[in-house]
Chains A and B, each alone.
Chain A
Amino acid sequence: MQPDISVKHLNKIYEDGFQALKNVSLEIYPGEIFALLGPNGAGKTTLISIICGIVNKGDGEVTAAGYDIVRQYRKAREAIGLVPQELNTDSFETVWDAVSFSRGLFGKPPKPAHIEKVLKDLSLWDKRNNRIMSLSGGMKRRVMIAKALSHEPRILFLDEPTAGVDVELRRDMWEMVRKLRENGTTIILTTHYIEEAEEMADRIGVIRQGEIILVEDKDRLMSKLGKKELRLQLQHKMDKLPGELTLEPIELSEDGYELIYTFDSQQQQAGVARLLRTLGELDIEYRDLRTRESSLEEIFVGLVHE
């Protein structure tokens, strides 16, 4: 399958000498939700800005929808919609005019029915005649998304789309993103909310200091790098771990009432069964037990701090 976004050996050095991207290669396929994660200053926005044409490309090749972003920039950009990180909107325009302006700018003839649909999908229809300056931050964010969708792009970049928005709006946006994907739109998402990537992404890319350090299917990533934890609440306080348990990766909580057993999520449950058997043999009683999988956030933190 031909990728919707293809980046090969891309470098970017700014005028002040700062190298924002180092030999980045990446492919994103039609209809997937790809989450690009990385700490502040890792190069996420630079990468997106280059693909969208806002920042000049350094060495390397970049195509969008199969078109070179420099030589065939018109075709490439027609296919892309961008919701930038900052709330950059015109203040004095009405919502309708601002969204219609974006559609025209991207070379599409007027199509009021589509603008109406986008505004309705984003709960902006009632505000269509309001000036943008009169809208709340969350509504302005919706306007940014409406502008990006106005020309019916097949690739949508969402750069920190839910930064600073309330929980309800965030859920609405997730729902909207899922619907877009169902309609075949490729979505590239950068976010600080790892929960967002965990909830929505098909694949995850991690960028650190301008280098892509990992690109992996989300589920595979979680099972490969994730940890599981079993916590047993003891009936009676334990002063120290019995010798039989010291061979296992097991810890005793400070208050002596909890045993914490950590194991790889890929590992079979044999370790848990053995532990429970050993506890039985040692007459150690427990009143409750619970397991927990490590979140993508923990995996991410582990990766970027390696």
Chain B
Amino acid sequence: MNLYGVKAIYKFEMARMKRTVMQSVLSPVISTCLYFVVFGSAIGSRMGDIDNISYGAYIIPGLMMLSLLMQSISNASFGIYMPKFSGTIYEVLSAPVSYLEIVLGYVGAATTKAVILGLIILATARFFVDYSILHPFWMLSFLVLTAVTFSLFGFIIGIWADGFEKLQIVPMMIVTPLVFLGGTFYSIDMLPEVWQTISLFNPVVYLISGFRWAFYGVSDVHVGISVGMTLIFLTMCMTAVWWIFKTGYRLRS
């Protein structure tokens, strides 16, 4: 295995995070803080508890998941799209690195960045609301598993995209609505029955539900289903990446 190659890609991507700390870290942290201020403190103080959890604390897993998904996708898609855009991808394609090593480098860095950001947001939330974590191991496991899955998804978007618009379209037009409608700010039990059924087709519901269970032991769907759905999506993303490299889709002509 070309570990030096994996390390080179990983370090290169992490260096980009350092260079763009305002955009990569500060900006999502500030956005999430605003959610905590508005929904957690201002509006949340006037709302009743959900499943015996204060509203401010209830929305923490969903808001963390929102940032985690967006940052995983954005970091990984940008990471692989930029070399394609600038033409420097020639170097990766001509290097003695396997497909797996390329993915490990790019997706590993995107995952690391997203997890770091998620933990920063978690620490920042403490300034606004009081919360507890019932299952820390599972919380971290969900955090990492989701970051890996959506970094892979972002990697696929980065390869598929042939312009900056396409790079933005999936996170903005698909992922954001799915997160907002996936129980970030509410329990799907609060919805009319028909909308509850429709919500179950939203994969993000399972992620947020599982994550919330790790925090407070309450969930919209059974935690086993949440883990299962995340693994299914992870498998789908891995299959798509395998196919991309097998065919050279948008990488090798």
Binding site of B, secondary structure by majority: helix, strand, loop or mixed? helix
A56 — which chain B residues lie within 8 A by C-beta?
A: 248, 252-253
Q: In the complex, A78→B96 CA distance in Å? A: 6
Known contacts A80-B94, A106-B5; is-contact A101 B12 (Cβ 8 Å) = yes
Q: B5 to A147, Cβ gap below 8 A?
A: no
- Does A55 sit within 8 A of B, measured CB to CB? yes
Nearest opposing residue in chain A for B2, CB measure = A107
Taking the closest CB of chain A, its distance from the CB of B162, in whole angstroms, is 15
Taking the closest CB of chain A, its distance from the CB of B1, in whole angstroms, is 9
Q: In the complex, A104→B96 CA distance in Å? A: 10
Q: A54 to B4, Cβ gap below 8 A?
A: no
Q: In the complex, A55→B252 CA distance in Å? A: 5
- Does B132 sit within 8 A of A, measured CB to CB? no
Taking the closest CB of chain A, its distance from the CB of B83, in whole angstroms, is 8
Q: In the complex, A264→B211 CA distance in Å? A: 84
Nearest opposing residue in chain B for A100, CB measure = B8
Taking the closest CB of chain A, its distance from the CB of B230, in whole angstroms, is 32
Partner of B88, one of A74, A89, A100, A103: A89
Residues 83-99 of chain B, each 1 if its beta carbon lies under 8 Å from chain A, else 0: 00011101111111110
- Does B60 sit within 8 A of A, measured CB to CB? no
Q: In the complex, A86→B89 CA distance in Å? A: 12
Q: A53 to B2, Cβ gap below 8 A?
A: no
Residues 10-27 of chain B, each 1 if its beta carbon lies under 8 Å from chain A, else 0: 011001100100000000
- Does B241 sit within 8 A of A, measured CB to CB? no
Known contacts A78-B96, A107-B4; is-contact A97 B90 (Cβ 8 Å) = no
A89 — which chain B residues lie within 8 A by C-beta?
A: 86, 88
Q: How many pairs of residues, A versus B, come closer than 8 Å at their CB atoms?
A: 80
Q: In the complex, A86→B97 CA distance in Å? A: 22
- Does B65 sit within 8 A of A, measured CB to CB? no
Nearest opposing residue in chain B for A90, CB measure = B88
Q: B9 to A105, Cβ gap below 8 A?
A: yes
Partner of B8, one of A80, A86, A104: A104
B98 — which chain A residues lie within 8 A by C-beta?
A: 74
Q: A105 to B95, Cβ gap below 8 A?
A: yes
Interface residues of B in 216-253 (CB under 8 A from A): 248, 252-253
- Tell me which of B9, B12, B88, B96 has the highest count of chain A C-beta atoms within 10 A of its own C-beta: B96
Q: In the complex, A200→B38 CA distance in Å? A: 70
B9 — which chain A residues lie within 8 A by C-beta?
A: 105
- Does A15 sit within 8 A of B, measured CB to CB? yes
A14 — which chain B residues lie within 8 A by C-beta?
A: 253
- Does B7 sit within 8 A of A, measured CB to CB? yes
Known contacts A104-B8, A105-B8, A105-B9; is-contact A54 B86 (Cβ 8 Å) = no
Q: A105 to B87, Cβ gap below 8 A?
A: no
Q: A104 to B5, Cβ gap below 8 A?
A: yes
Partner of B95, one of A84, A92, A106: A106
Known contacts A14-B253, A78-B96, A106-B96; is-contact A88 B90 (Cβ 8 Å) = yes
Interface residues of A in 100-146 (CB under 8 A from B): 100-109
Q: B93 to A102, Cβ gap below 8 A?
A: no
Nearest opposing residue in chain B for A94, CB measure = B15
- Does A267 sit within 8 A of B, measured CB to CB? no
- Does A77 sit within 8 A of B, measured CB to CB? yes
Q: B91 to A109, Cβ gap below 8 A?
A: no
Q: A86 to B87, Cβ gap below 8 A?
A: yes
- Tell me which of A54, A55, A82, A102 has the highest count of chain B C-beta atoms within 10 A of its own C-beta: A54
Q: B97 to A105, Cβ gap below 8 A?
A: yes
Q: In the complex, A192→B60 CA distance in Å? A: 62
A109 — which chain B residues lie within 8 A by C-beta?
A: 4
Interface residues of B in 1-54 (CB under 8 A from A): 2, 4-5, 7-9, 11-12, 15-16, 19
Partner of B7, one of A77, A80, A82, A104: A104
A73 — which chain B residues lie within 8 A by C-beta?
A: 96
Q: B252 to A54, Cβ gap below 8 A?
A: yes
Known contacts A105-B5, A106-B5, A108-B4; is-contact A53 B93 (Cβ 8 Å) = yes
Interface residues of B in 45-93 (CB under 8 A from A): 86-88, 90-93
Q: B92 to A105, Cβ gap below 8 A?
A: yes
Q: In the complex, A109→B8 CA distance in Å? A: 10
- Does A91 sit within 8 A of B, measured CB to CB? yes
Q: A84 to B90, Cβ gap below 8 A?
A: yes
Q: In the complex, A102→B11 CA distance in Å? A: 12
Taking the closest CB of chain B, its distance from the CB of A98, in whole angstroms, is 9
- Lowest 5 CB-CB distances: which A-B pairs, in order? A104-B8, A88-B87, A74-B96, A77-B96, A52-B94
9 more CB-based (< 8 A) A-B contacts, given A52-B90, A54-B94: A53-B93, A76-B96, A77-B96, A88-B88, A89-B88, A92-B19, A101-B12, A103-B4, A106-B5
Give me 6 A-to-B residue pairs in the complex whose CB atoms sit less than 8 angstroms apart, sorted by A's number.
A53-B93, A53-B94, A54-B90, A56-B248, A88-B87, A107-B96
